[in-house]
Amino acid sequence: MTFALNQEERMLKDLVARFVREELMALENKVLARDAAGEGMAFTKEEQDRLDSRSKELGLWGLDAPEEYGGSDLPVTTMVAVNEEMGKTALQYRLPPDSPNLRMLMRVCNEKQTRQYLEPYARGEMKSAIAISEPGGGGDPAAMKTRAVRERDGWLINGRKIWISGVDKADFVILMAVTDAQKGARGGISAFIVDQGTPGFNVLRKIPMIGGHSTFEIALEDCWLPATQLLGEEGKGFGPMQLRLSTRRVQIGAWCVGRAQRALDMMVEYVPQRKTFGVPLSDRQAIQWWIADAATKIHATRLMVYDAAEKVSRGEEARTEISMLKVFATEMATEVIDHAMQAFGAMGMTKEMPFNAMAGHLRVMRIYEGPSEVHRMLIARHVLQKRF
Ligand SMILES: Cc1cc2nc3c(=O)[nH]c(=O)nc-3n(C[C@H](O)[C@H](O)[C@H](O)COP(=O)(O)OP(=O)(O)OC[C@H]3O[C@@H](n4cnc5c(N)ncnc54)[C@H](O)[C@@H]3O)c2cc1C
pLDDT tens readout for residues 252-311 = 999 999 999 999 999 999 999 999 999 999 999 999 999 999 999 999 999 999 999 999
With beta carbons less than 8 A apart as the criterion, state whether 197 and 150 touch: no
364 lines ligand 1 (CB under 6 A): yes
Looking at residue 354, what is its pLDDT? Answer: 97
Q: Report which ligand 1 atom has the smallest distance to the Cα of 135.
A: 26
Per-residue pLDDT tens over the stretch 310-365:
999 999 999 999 999 999 999 999 999 999 999 999 999 999 999 999 999 999 99
362 lines ligand 1 (CB under 6 A): no
> Is the predicted pLDDT of residue 100 greater than 90, yes or no?
yes
* Type of residue at 358: M
Looking at residue 157, what is its pLDDT? Answer: 98
Q: Report which ligand 1 atom has the smallest distance to the Cα of 211.
A: 1
Nearest CA to ligand 1 atom 1: 364
Burial, 88: exposed, middle or buried (Cβ in 10 Å; 0-12, 13-18, 19+)?
buried
211 lines ligand 1 (CB under 6 A): no
- Phi/psi for 154 (5° steps) reads -165, -150
Per-residue pLDDT tens over the stretch 197-227:
999 999 999 999 998 899 999 999 999 999 9
Residue 72 — pLDDT band, cuts 50, 70, 90?
very high
Q: Residue 128's beta-bridge partner residues? A: 172
* Count of all residues that appear for the chain in the document: 388
pTM score, whole prediction: 0.97
Q: Please, what is the average pLDDT of the chain?
A: 97
Nearest CA to ligand 1 atom 47: 373
Q: Report which ligand 1 atom has the smallest distance to the Cα of 369.
A: 17
Task: Kindly list the catalytic residues.
Answer: 369
* Type of residue at 296: T
128 lines ligand 1 (CB under 6 A): no
**CA-to-CA distance for 180 and 157, rounded, in angstroms?**
13
Ligand 1 centroid to residue 7 C-alpha, Å: 40
**CA-to-CA distance for 88 and 326, rounded, in angstroms?**
17
Looking at residue 2, what is its pLDDT? Answer: 77
**CA-to-CA distance for 12 and 388, rounded, in angstroms?**
34
Tell me which of 134, 213, 374 to substitute to probe ligand 1's pocket, judged by most ligand atoms within 8 Å of the beta carbon. Answer: 374
Q: Kindly report the number of other CB atoms within 10 A of residue 200's CB atom.
A: 15
Residue 249 — pLDDT band, cuts 50, 70, 90?
very high
Which residues fall within 8 angstroms of residue 270, CB to CB, at 6 or more apart?
281, 343, 344
> Is the predicted pLDDT of residue 383 greater than 80, yes or no?
yes
Query: Taking Cα atoms as reference points, which of 157, 229, 143 lies closest to residue 188?
Result: 143
Q: Kindly report the number of other CB atoms within 10 A of residue 317's CB atom.
A: 10
